[in-house]
């Protein structure tokens, strides 16, 4: 069932977090957030009627080294990520939606 507006904690908008295996799968599921550019190539819409989209892409964990001369270890995390803020009567898909305990990127 698609997600609509929340009454808590901010009734005026809802922040949704998404993770997909790849950007290609995100594009398939969230095709309503794509539009052709001047050359006809589909590009993400970062805002529109009732929504704002924050494209994140892949995430990584950075593990610092105890050795100040050594580079940190960078571990890629699974998935391709984006955040979607909705308001009004905007309806967003549930497919790919996650609820992270500690989101790495949130709306200001």
pLDDT bucket at 107, cuts 50 / 70 / 90: confident
Can you name the residues that pair with 63 across neighbouring β-strands? 73
Residue 7 pLDDT more than 70?
no
- For 56-86, write each residue's pLDDT tens digit: 999 999 999 999 999 999 999 999 999 999 9
Q: How confident is the prediction for the chain on average, in pLDDT?
A: 89
C-alpha to C-alpha distances, 19 to 3, 49, 82, 83, nearest whole angstrom: 16, 23, 7, 9
């Amino acid at each position: 069932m698609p997600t609509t507006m929340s009454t808590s904690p901010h009734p005026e908008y809802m922040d949704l977090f998404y993770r997909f295996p790849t950007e290609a799968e995100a594009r398939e599921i969230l095709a309503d957030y794509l539009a052709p550019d001047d050359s006809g190539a589909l590009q993400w819409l970062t805002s529109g009627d009732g929504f704002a989209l924050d494209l994140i892409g892949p995430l990584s964990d950075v593990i610092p080294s105890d050795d100040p001369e050594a580079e940190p270890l960078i571990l890629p995390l699974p998935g391709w990520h984006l955040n979607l803020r909705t308001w009004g009567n905007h309806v967003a898909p549930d497919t790919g939606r996650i609820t992270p305990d500690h989101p790495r990127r949130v709306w200001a």
